[in-house]
Amino acid sequence: MVFQSRMDCRSSGYQAPVVPHCPRSARGKRSARKKAGNHQMSAIDLLANLASKLLSERENLPRPCFNDRASSPVGVDMTVELERIGRQKSLKSEAYDQLSCNEDEHCPENFNKRKKTNDLSNHSKALQATPLGPAALFAKSEILCEDAISEESKFVGENCKIVHGFDAIQKCGTKMLDSTTVESHELNAIRSRTPFQAEEKMERDLHMSCAINSINLNGNNAVLVSSDNSSEVPFGKDKIHHKVCFSKQEDDMRPSPDKDSENSSECTPSVITNVGGKTDLPGKRMDYTRQRTQMCSFVKRKFFEYYSASTSDGGIFCEANDTWSSTKAIKSCNSSPNYHGANDAWSSTKVIKSRNSSPDYHVKLRIKSFEVPELVVEIPETTTVGSLKRTVLEAVNTILGGGLQLGVLLQGKRVTDDSKTLHQVGISHSDKLDGLCFTLEPNTKHVPEKLTCPRDPHLLSLGCATGSPDGSPPAAPSATDQLGSDATQKCVKSFRENDHDSVLSSTNASSPENQISSSLVLVAAPPPPVNAEALAMVPHRSKPKSKSCQVAQRRVRRPFSVAEVEALVQAVEKLGTGRWRDVKLCSFENEKHRTYVDLKDKWKTLVHTARISPQQRRGEPVPQGLLDRVLLAHAYWSQQQSKLQVKSLHATETLLLLP
């Protein structure tokens, strides 16, 4: 509870600074400073600051206190909403301003950062009690605030972003099913990449046959099951590993796709829903759909018999019905410490040496399961289960859709020469096969062209699959979010290393630092916009080579929607002008393509638009009501600023008059 939190932080002795915002403009406009000269103005500023400091000490200004809710611009209803939403970050900004310390309580770094950046001049802010903002003056302030909250909650709720943890999934205990059919040519392509195919052509005298035919899944349904049983899925850790299990026959454990027909159709375009929240614009859906359609069709291969989750320690993986004669427990490759946390989707291989080895020296392998890289997603509680399913499914599809190749690791070393015989590389019926592992690896050759990124195909394929929030290439920093960006790039880097290195770096893979790098961190965000303009936001860099040499590509113009304008107006009403970063964090945090500079510029044009006649206005008409609010808020905050300036000036004079 926000209010309670505030009280708590006070009672705990923590005293948040009272720093009503003092816009730079109030501290002296640049033009004025230029006129006056920097040195002179610096002196005045310094004096003002000193005066402010003195005055604030004298006056012992009361903290803005909203215990009397009637006086709060937030209001009772908002309190309820605040409680409901809890610690949603979108409220932090306002909490910081209106309630003084919530943000800092929840996020000390924020406070420290602010504290650090607050220079001496901030003391002058203490001269002025925290303004309630024009919203408090507006007749419909209560409604306005409620709207703001619900809008924010919607915003938060419908966006997924990167994370480190699987709480959401844990809560949902989602079972995800997908029934697809195999396209034989794809399967053949996969097969052809295995070293075993080459093996068949050679060394027939050895008559080795690998029992990898369990990969042959023709005719079976692929089913993905993710943590349908919480008891199977210890989510104690931040991450979760998924193992893919192969089995030759269908088994009873596999949930029937019919049970969950709605899920099995999740991959079809018809069920695509927008997860973009506020940016829900008509037409966007289509693009997203198209993207997903492509992805899904590409991924339509039957690859998994079933799919289950297990801990990273490899403690759990599904047991297929054993259709093999030999059921002896074989030491799993998974127990090899060398591969824990490895990036590759490597197999939890059980290598079985045939008991009744034929005279032909067959090597019998049983691939118990494949492990796909860790998936980490964060999804707000308010996200629908369907959205969660899609997110996770997309993650899986991304892995598969990018194309896979199979790697073979023997005693930790990658076996790269497909032409060598098993015998030659040391896979022999008489040798211990404990160290034989298979890895599912991203195949750069098979990444769909549309998803190919000049910089890094893997990264882009991930980003595209999960929906870049702004439609820009996911390789761009803005498309991924803090941790995710990092982790994804680490992941990609590691993928590449694995691709190029002939020997897997086992130490690297097992280091704790690489725990995260072994994951695919997803950025599930609003679907990319679809109109022509937005599509242009996703430049195929291979195409416009003409401009590639030039400095930087100008961003495509993306006109503000009425909804965005509404959000902007609301935010400015609450926060005031000159706090564009806060405005951004408050209302546009999930719209990566809107920078605070954009918001500032938009406000500027809004004020201009509101002042000109309707006939002179261009573009999508902004409701007059909104424009009125723009003028009102602008006037109010301008007044606040001028008051501040006057006060500051007065304080300076006072200080100068002092002996």
How many angstroms separate the CA atoms of 515 and 488, rounded? 12
Shortest spacing between CB 109 and DNA, in angstroms: 12
Shortest spacing between CB 534 and DNA, in angstroms: 10
According to DSSP, residue 306 is labeled E
CA-nearest of 424, 59, 429 to 210 is 429
Site residues, DNA (CB under 7 A): 23-25, 29-31, 33-34, 38, 41-42, 119, 121, 551-552, 554-558, 577-582, 593-594, 596-598, 600-602, 604-605
How many CA atoms, within 13 angstroms, populate the side-chain half-sphere of residue 545? Answer: 2
Shortest spacing between CB 92 and DNA, in angstroms: 13
Shortest spacing between CB 287 and DNA, in angstroms: 17
**Is residue 341 a contact partner of residue 514, using CB atoms and an 8 Å limit?**
yes
Residues 6+ apart with CB under 8 A from 257: 177, 178, 179, 221, 223, 263, 264
> In terms of CB distance, is 41 or 622 closer to DNA?
41
Residues 6+ apart with CB under 8 A from 230: 170, 173
Shortest spacing between CB 578 and DNA, in angstroms: 3
> In terms of CB distance, is 139 or 532 closer to DNA?
532
> In terms of CB distance, is 333 or 583 closer to DNA?
583
> In terms of CB distance, is 406 or 534 closer to DNA?
534
Mapping DSSP onto H, E and C, the string for 339-377 reads HCCCCCEEEEEEECCCCCCCCCCCCCEEEEEEEECEEEC
Residue type, 425: V
Give the number of residues written for the chain. 659
> In terms of CB distance, is 194 or 468 closer to DNA?
468
Shortest spacing between CB 117 and DNA, in angstroms: 8
Shortest spacing between CB 122 and DNA, in angstroms: 10
DSSP-assigned states of every residue in 202-244: S-GGG----GGGGG--TTPPP----SSSGGG--TTSS--EEEE
Widest pairwise Cα distance in the chain = 109
> In terms of CB distance, is 201 or 557 closer to DNA?
557
> In terms of CB distance, is 29 or 328 closer to DNA?
29
**Is residue 334 a contact partner of residue 437, using CB atoms and an 8 Å limit?**
no
Phi, psi of 130 (to 5 degrees): -60, 120
Shortest spacing between CB 455 and DNA, in angstroms: 19
> In terms of CB distance, is 26 or 144 closer to DNA?
26
How many angstroms separate the CA atoms of 49 and 652, rounded? 8
How many CA atoms, within 13 angstroms, populate the side-chain half-sphere of residue 493? Answer: 11
Phi, psi of 156 (to 5 degrees): -65, -40
Beta bridge partners of 404: 442
Shortest spacing between CB 596 and DNA, in angstroms: 5
Shortest spacing between CB 642 and DNA, in angstroms: 12
Tokens of 508: 């690297």
> In terms of CB distance, is 242 or 600 closer to DNA?
600
> In terms of CB distance, is 23 or 426 closer to DNA?
23
> In terms of CB distance, is 92 or 558 closer to DNA?
558
**Is residue 352 a contact partner of residue 225, using CB atoms and an 8 Å limit?**
no
Q: How many CB atoms lie within 10 A of CB 394?
A: 26
Shortest spacing between CB 23 and DNA, in angstroms: 3
Alpha-carbon torsion angle 577, 578, 582, 584, nearest 10: 80
Beta bridge partners of 521: 376
